[in-house]
Structure 1
Amino acid sequence: MPKHVYYNVEVPIPENVSVEVDGLKVRVKGPLGEIERDFSHAIGVIIRQESGRVVVEGYRVDRKKKALIGTIAAHIENMITGVTKGFTYKLKIIYSHFPITVQVDEKNGIVRIKNFLGEKADRIARIHGKNVKVKVVGEDIIVTGIDIEAVGQTAANIERATKIRELDRRIFVDGIYIYERGVGIER
């Protein structure tokens, strides 16, 4: 496979966002908060800041390193989107016989799912990150935050906590399911 001598991806920085680059550590500050990521695992990749943009680049790049450069640029774009607009995941509580009760314990960072399929023991889902907010509105659970990875992992934890193992999923549809995800924090 031929190697490219030089490959780069540029990420524009909006006016209301400040980005600090320290080696392979990137800190993004915006109106909604601050996110910091460490990309030190990316050997052979250079991240630098120019006027109004962040440049992710590499020399003697094969296709794997080219993909790594694109992935890091996408992470930085998600960080910028997060501190300007935020992210929202919506989940639906579905039950046929036993009503499911969901409680959010922000102090301990968990979501407690009670009476799932009539079980006496609660099912627990962990909330990732300190900036992730979970609220229950009727039959919906809304997960919001500025870090897309923490918001997505929290929503996945809630969905996975109600996974049914031995029963046929087509008949026993009880559970909590992600039905929408998007950009913007819903109040």
Structure 2
Amino acid sequence: MAKEILAMRDLEIPQNVEIKLEGNRVIVKGSKGQLEKDFSHMKGINMEIKDNKLIVQAFFADAKKKAAVGTVVAHVKNMIIGVTRGFRYKLKIIYSHYPISVKKDGNRLIISNFIGEKSPRYAIILPGVNVKIQGTDIILEGNDIEKVSQSAANIELATKITDFDRRKFMDGIYIYSREVVE
């Protein structure tokens, strides 16, 4: 496979967003806060801001470097969406055997009476994620997509069961919606 001399992607910076570069560390500021991410582990990737655009490039790029350029641009896009609008994940509490009760306690979610268990199960909620419990819905909101999605995955994994037939026993908490806050 031949190497490309210059793999380059650019990203338009919106008016209400400020992006600052410190080496390969990107800091994005917007109306909903600030996010920063370190890309120094991606060797051979250069970033610069020119004419209100973030330019990500790699010289003599093989397939891995080309993919890394696209990955950096995708991460920065998500950071821009996060600081301007935010992300929302919705989960549904589903039970047919024992009613599940859920409450927030600091940085964790306590899931009680899951499949009739006496001891509660816990799910870690990462910092910067807001949790709202409305009946059988759990709504997670935040500006960092990685923290919001990982918190949703933690809740879903806390109620994962393996010893029952999934076609008949569907009790648990499941993600049903991923969206950008309007």
TM-score interval for Structure 1 and Structure 2 normalised by the shorter chain: over 0.9
**Partner residue of 1:143?**
140
- Counterpart code for 1:87: F
**Partner residue of 2:69?**
69
Candidates 130, 134, 153, aligned match of 2:150: 153
**Partner residue of 1:35?**
35
**Partner residue of 2:111?**
113
- Deviation of the 1:51 alpha carbon: 2.4
Aligned partner of residue 90 in structure 1, secondary structure: strand
After TM superposition, list the pairs within 5 Å mapping 1:1-187 onto structure 2.
1-105=1-105, 107=106, 109-128=107-126, 130-184=127-181
- Counterpart code for 1:94: I
- Counterpart code for 1:178: I
| Structure 2 residue runs without a partner (length 5+) | none
- Deviation of the 1:91 alpha carbon: 0.3
- Distance, in Å, in 2 between the alignment partners of 1:56 and 1:120 is 53
- Counterpart code for 2:116: G
> Percent same amino acid at aligned positions?
51
- Distance, in Å, in 2 between the alignment partners of 1:134 and 1:8 is 39
- Distance, in Å, in 2 between the alignment partners of 1:141 and 1:69 is 35
Aligned partner of residue 153 in structure 1, secondary structure: helix
- Counterpart code for 2:50: E
- Counterpart code for 1:114: S
* TM-superposition CA deviations, 1:45-92 (whole Å, max 9, x none): 011111211111000001111001100100000000000010000000
> Structure 1: which 4+ aligned runs deviate by more than 3 Å?
none
| Structure 1 residue runs without a partner (length 5+) | none
TM-score, with length taken from structure 2: 0.98
Aligned partner of residue 121 in structure 1, secondary structure: coil
- Deviation of the 1:97 alpha carbon: 1.9
- Counterpart code for 1:91: L
Count of residues in correspondence between the two structures: 182
- Distance, in Å, in 2 between the alignment partners of 1:178 and 1:164 is 16
- Counterpart code for 2:112: K
